[in-house]
A and B are shown apart, each in its own frame.
Chain A
Amino acid sequence: MTAYTVSMEHIPGLLEKWAGELDVHVPEQDPDGFYNFIAWTPETEIAWDYDLAYNSLKRFFLPPKEDTLSFDMETMRAEPVVDAPKQLLFGVHPYDLRAINQLDQLLEMGEPDVNYLARRQNTVIFALEPSRVAPTSFWASMGYDRVDLGYDLYWTRISPSSFYVEVGSTAGEELLLAAGALPQATGMEREAAKRERLRVRARSIKQGGLKYPWQETPRLLDKSWESPIWRNNSKYCLSCGSCVTVCPTCYCFDVREEVDVDLKKGKRFREWDGCMLPSFALVAGDHNFREHAMERYRHRYFRKGKYIYDKIGELGCVGCGRCVRACTSRIANPKAVYNELWEATYDEA
């Protein structure tokens, strides 16, 4: 495995180079204290030690609103619209990259989604080992503290002034060496990176997570369809969709269109939708297949804990904890829900 050592002072020059070729996005802390990925400029102060980006990174592959088709209403003919800027995401934490890897699988499965895949193919990802754990996160207990694929480079800060950088792809290595040769990492530096990973992992574990092995979640849900937790919690659900909006693995969308003022041409677009919103499963004839907040609330936990697992063998919840923060009713904590189900199932047994 090729790896280099990169000193902090080397990074501004590299960013300058990269920004000439790609749209570079990095984590930054905003004036209110929230971390978020923003477009890099030479003035940007990168938040190397960010704990969690407020918004997930799915928007770089599946924008909140995206054109998919342009059409001519006079000829009734259409052309596909596929917009895929060349972009670099620098500083992606492992659990977020695992979420992206899941979307890659789910959107390629069956009929590939060209809009998503074109964006993904034009995106370079530099992963970053987290140095802190957000208070609402529980990713280590979900098995998402590691990622083995999907990155072009993997950065680990091994001292205040240096990074251990593991190469994941040729494209990543070329970008890393764009400003000149770099020293290969030593065995000691590799050990330092490993220690850092284990330190952060231990932190995440210590903070508490699932009280049982994550692999049990689908089986647990099989026994939990009738659990009172769904009704008890969803009594407080505002059906606002905040939890699905911030979730890095939620990708449901609605399809709509808009017409130019001259009524001759128009665009079809998709925009984020969510199974927590009341009209999500409404059909013609006013029949709603998930009419009650309880049904929608339960569906979300089944989707994350079982349905996605049945498709790709991983849980759809990566433990980032964004939904925990976004929910104003304080009912969206997957860790709390799954743990409560676990305890209830054991008490009965």
Chain B
Amino acid sequence: MKLDPKRSSYLPTPATLKRKEKLSEHVSLFVFEPDNGTLLGHKPGQFIMVSVYGVGEAPFSVSSAPVPDSKQFELAIRRTGTVTNAIHELEPGDRIGIRGPYGTFFPVQEFMGKDTLFIAGGLGYIPLRSLLHYQLRHRDEFGRIIVLVGTRNPRERIFTDQIMELGKRPDVEILETVDQPDQCWEGHCGVITTLLPKVDINPENTYVAMVGPPVMYRFVLSGCEDKCIPQDRIYVSLERRMKCGVGKCGHCQINGLNSCIEGPVFRYDRIAPLKEAL
């Protein structure tokens, strides 16, 4: 095999922050553009590795839909550790390093002509937003779009304006809940599974895309079972600790699978037998 050290898989390429916007107390949206003028070329559900030199590198799902005529892409990031704090300190014009996109993605071709039930728990809305916006851009090619959004409390809700706009569209059904309401919250209360009985779906014609905190999956999957949705039409994204992004470092293993290359998006029937998946 011919080796070219300049083509190390571990070498990021530069990208520049174009804009940032606060989404909640701890979460902000960051709009980046690769310096080399190329498209990121990601598919909904994929992630990239972001480097802030001097601090470190971490994986983030891309939140924007792939748009052929735009070189910009969006990440929504919660301030939670050293790398995410450093990203929050960036100002427009500042540079980061990126590698990727990596991993599997939601099979949008397969979803075409079918209904899609989105189930987004907390920050799970971030990667699902890529698929959702893709479908909205190609609205005619997809059936019903049903979106369930669950957040711990009203203060932690993200993309609130966009979600409100979606609520006004006749071609999108969106239901939102919070686990712990405050005095101002007038919407639905309870964990995200409590929204499932409220939606009427055709199990023969529906695909499910779900992302959320680890604790969410088992309950929501049993809810999907109650709705008779077959396992091979449910896609979940499972995030683990990724250090290399290319299946080498071992951190993101789910039993024998590397979630960075064989995931993060898995068809549920494939991982249902795995003990460490859900």
Taking the nearest CB of chain B, how far is it from the CB of A238, in angstroms?
20
Interface residues of B (CB under 8 A from A): 1, 3-12, 14, 51, 53-57, 78, 80-81, 84, 94-97, 213-214, 239-241, 243-244, 246-251, 253-256, 261, 275-276
For residue A64, CB closer than 8 A to chain B, the reply is no
For residue A287, CB closer than 8 A to chain B, the reply is yes
Query: Contacts A266-B54, A273-B249, A310-B256: A76 and B3 contacting too (C-beta < 8 A)?
Result: no
Residues in chain B near residue A22, CB distance under 8 A = none
Query: Contacts A73-B54, A76-B96, A285-B80: A82 and B8 contacting too (C-beta < 8 A)?
Result: yes
Write the chain A residue with the least CB distance to B78.
Answer: A284
Taking the nearest CB of chain B, how far is it from the CB of A72, in angstroms?
7
- The 9 nearest A-B residue pairs measured at CB: A252-B250, A307-B256, A76-B95, A80-B8, A82-B5, A111-B246, A71-B53, A111-B9, A255-B243
Taking the nearest CB of chain A, how far is it from the CB of B53, in angstroms?
4
Query: Contacts A109-B247, A110-B261, A275-B250: A281 and B240 contacting too (C-beta < 8 A)?
Result: yes
For residue A30, CB closer than 8 A to chain B, the reply is no
User: Interface extent on A, as a size class?
Assistant: 35 or more
Q: Is the Cβ of B11 less than 8 Å from the Cβ of A254? A: no
The complex places the Cα of A75 from the Cα of B9 at a distance, in Å, of: 21
Q: Is the Cβ of A251 less than 8 Å from the Cβ of B250? A: yes
Q: Is the Cβ of B5 less than 8 Å from the Cβ of A254? A: no
Write the chain B residue with the least CB distance to A256.
Answer: B56
Query: Contacts A76-B97, A225-B275, A266-B54: A112 and B213 contacting too (C-beta < 8 A)?
Result: no
In the assembled complex, 11 residue pairs joining A and B whose CB atoms fall closer than 8 Å, in A order, are: A106-B248, A118-B3, A121-B3, A254-B249, A255-B243, A257-B56, A268-B10, A281-B240, A281-B253, A284-B78, A310-B256
Residues in chain B near residue A171, CB distance under 8 A = none
Q: Is the Cβ of B53 less than 8 Å from the Cβ of A289? A: no
Residues in chain A near residue B14, CB distance under 8 A = 76-77
Interface string of A246-270 (1 = CB under 8 A from B): 0000011111110100010010101
The complex places the Cα of A287 from the Cα of B213 at a distance, in Å, of: 9
Residues in chain A near residue B247, CB distance under 8 A = 109-111
Write the chain B residue with the least CB distance to A275.
Answer: B250
Write the chain A residue with the least CB distance to B245.
Answer: A111
Q: Is the Cβ of B249 less than 8 Å from the Cβ of A80? A: no
Taking the nearest CB of chain B, how far is it from the CB of A171, in angstroms?
16
Residues in chain B near residue A281, CB distance under 8 A = 240-241, 251, 253
Residues in chain B near residue A107, CB distance under 8 A = 248
Interface string of A3-41 (1 = CB under 8 A from B): 000000000000000000000000000000000000000
Taking the nearest CB of chain A, how far is it from the CB of B32, in angstroms?
12
